[in-house]
Chain A
Amino acid sequence: MNRRGNTLFVNAALVIGAAVTLYPLLWMLSASFMSNGEATTFPPHLIPHAATLDQYRQLFIRLNLGRAFLSSTIIAVVTTLVSLLFNSMAGYAFARLRFGGRERLFRLLLAALVIPGQVAMLPLFLLMKNLHLVNTYWGAILPALASVFGIFLIRQFMLSIPQDLLEAARIDGASELKIYWSVVMPLARPILATLAIYTFMTTWNDFMWPLIVLNDQRRYTLPVALASLVGEHALDIELMMAGSVVTVLPVLLLFLALQRHYIAGLTAGGIKG
């Protein structure tokens, strides 16, 4: 294929691919601004005839989706901040603190990655029941406060922090905690950003565990609230689309704003692994 034909082919394919990829999301956005029943009219159209905020009004006023939004935010923010602390401390320890059995312990942790989370869910639920944490935000947050993936990502990054830097600080008399907080963490900002974004998104999008541990409608996170709405309002398509938009928009915007960090971090962790 000649060069010109090649360019045409590649870019045409990219454009078509982009259209196919974006269509569901664009449609979701558009239908959320349509009035009841408009999404099923013929001929099908992508742009609403008379854009309206009716569906959003219904969601937030009648169906109280704002509450689910709040729940999702609380759980995601607390989980992200605390897990960032816990994972970075552990990751740093595995990378730069010398102690006996370090490599063996780390390998053991990695092995745990193969176990699917669902195996733990039933007993975890019973544990939460005994701790009286069912139907509480803490019940949803606690299991996520540390993750092998997060520790792994941080450790890989911190391997690149020169040991001499830390030695120098130690000679100056700084405690390990101070070294961690004042020397290491500032250097680790890129990976912390990546992990923060990743954790926030994963927690925001999490479905199965919040479905199990949160019973009360008032504590539902957005994905769980959305799934329960589907049961009742299966035929109110425009309403469902508005619900989807509310659920997807925050993480999508977060991703668009910070994608460089996120993608860079993922590839670094993925390839070296």
Chain B
Amino acid sequence: MKALRAESRAAGLFLAPALVILLVFFLLPVVAGFALSLTDFDLYSLGDIHNVRFVALHNYAAILRSEIFWTALGNTLYFSLVGGPLTVAVSLGAALLVNAKAACLKPLFRTIYFAPVVTTLVAVSVVFRFFYHPRFGALNRALGAIGLPQIDWLGDPRWAMPAIILLAVWKNFGYNMIIFIAGLQAIPDELYEASRIDGAGAWRQFRHITLPMLGPTFLFVGIVTAIGYLQLFAEPYVMTYGGPLNKTLSAVMLMYKEGFRWWRMGYAAAVAFLLCLVILLATAVQLRFQDKPERS
């Protein structure tokens, strides 16, 4: 018993530094953020603290009524719902290739495909910003060489978000690929052997063995990717600053602009919490969606 109490005391000591940091620099701000979102704290408040009013849910109502919020949310969802599955698909494809028995130099290719993940997002946004240049960019030059029309990728409201999605897919597919590879390697070979004896071709094996066995992996990858993509910020900040015509304005960018450019901090805090709600919903939806097939 004395030993257990000693352990408990030690646990307190061991947990203290990390928990204090998380409490003071994460939990406390999150709670304060919610409180902030219930006030109209802004530029005037910074000058004179008496210029603050408790406005309850007024900020939330104003945001839900504003056109710019729905634009930002729509853009963010567009990015997630198109970019997410696209990234997952490319990752799975890459994983299947790298994991294939016929593949040579697996470690080399795995490294190459993972390299974009470790690069700094701001730096590669700068590179891609140039790639997308209507006249000098490599992409348009390539399109021109095969006779396709040139597109003003970052200047055309229709193509700016697809351009950013492309960047995101390139940057992130390597991460999910690694997870998929681990998942693929966990599938016992006997299953494939058995189905081959039954006469199943590669496609059927994929559909009936690989995909179902990867179920939990898909769930993990899907949630992590969705949560990450809903927090889109650096790419539009560096490449388009939310334009053209606010077509690449993301929810986090809206929060940043309202909070740190215009200093409407109560309003911006509300935007942040609404986004948090969306992320929670997206996670819950994914969990529910994945649960159903397993039960059957």
Contact = CB atoms under 8 A, between A and B. Distances in A.
A touching B, CB within 8 angstroms: yes
Interface of A: 1, 3, 6-7, 10-11, 13-14, 17-18, 21-25, 27-28, 39-40, 44, 85-87, 89-90, 92-94, 97-100, 102, 109, 112, 114-127, 142-143, 145-146, 148, 151, 170, 175-177, 180, 201, 204-205, 207-208, 212, 222-224, 226-227, 230, 237, 240-241, 243-245, 247-248, 251-252, 254-256, 259, 263, 266-267, 270-271, 273
B11 A99 contact: yes
20 contacts: A17-B94, A17-B97, A18-B113, A21-B112, A27-B131, A99-B8, A114-B280, A118-B231, A122-B259, A146-B22, A148-B22, A226-B120, A226-B122, A227-B122, A227-B237, A241-B126, A241-B130, A244-B124, A247-B123, A251-B119
Contacts of B126: 226, 230, 240-241, 243-244
Nearest to A197: B118
B97 A21 contact: no
Contacts of A252: 115, 118-119
B15 A116 contact: no
A149 B90 CA distance: 26
Contacts, number: 276
B69 interface: no
B279 interface: yes
Nearest to A240: B126
Interface string B8-36: 10111111011101101111111011001
A176 B279 CA distance: 40
A123 B36 contact: yes
B97 A13 contact: yes
Given A208-B233, A212-B260, 14 more contacts: A93-B15, A94-B15, A98-B8, A116-B252, A116-B276, A118-B231, A118-B275, A122-B260, A123-B28, A123-B29, A123-B36, A176-B10, A207-B234, A266-B178
B141 interface: yes
B285 interface: no
Q: What band does the interface of chain B fall in when counting residues whose beta carbon is under 8 Å from A?
A: 35 or more
A123 B33 contact: yes
Interface stretch (B80-88, B155-163, B191-199, B265-273): B265-273
Interface string B250-271: 0010011001100001001100
B79 interface: no
A83 B8 CA distance: 22
A10 B126 CA distance: 32
B90 to A, nearest CB: 9
A240 B238 CA distance: 12
A227 B238 contact: yes
B146 interface: no
A208 B122 contact: no
B55 interface: no
B61 interface: no
Contacts of A256: 111
B264 to A, nearest CB: 10
A3 B4 CA distance: 62
A271 B119 contact: no
Contacts of A97: 7-8, 10-11, 14
B24 to A, nearest CB: 8
Q: Could you tell me the dominant secondary structure of chain B's interface residues?
A: helix
Interface of B: 3-4, 6-8, 10-15, 17-19, 21-22, 24-30, 32-33, 36, 94, 97-98, 100, 102-104, 109-116, 118-124, 126-131, 135-136, 138, 141, 170, 174-175, 178-179, 181-183, 186, 202, 217, 220, 227, 230-231, 233-234, 237-238, 252, 255-256, 259-260, 265, 268-269, 272-273, 275-276, 279-280, 283
B178 A10 contact: no
Contacts of B124: 24, 28, 244, 248
Contact of A223 (B25, B122, B233, B275): B122
Which of A89, A119, A244, A259 gathers the greatest number of chain B CB atoms within 10 Å?
A: A119
B100 A27 contact: no
A133 to B, nearest CB: 11
A230 to B, nearest CB: 6
A86 B94 CA distance: 36
Which of B36, B122, B179, B252 gathers the greatest number of chain A CB atoms within 10 Å?
A: B122
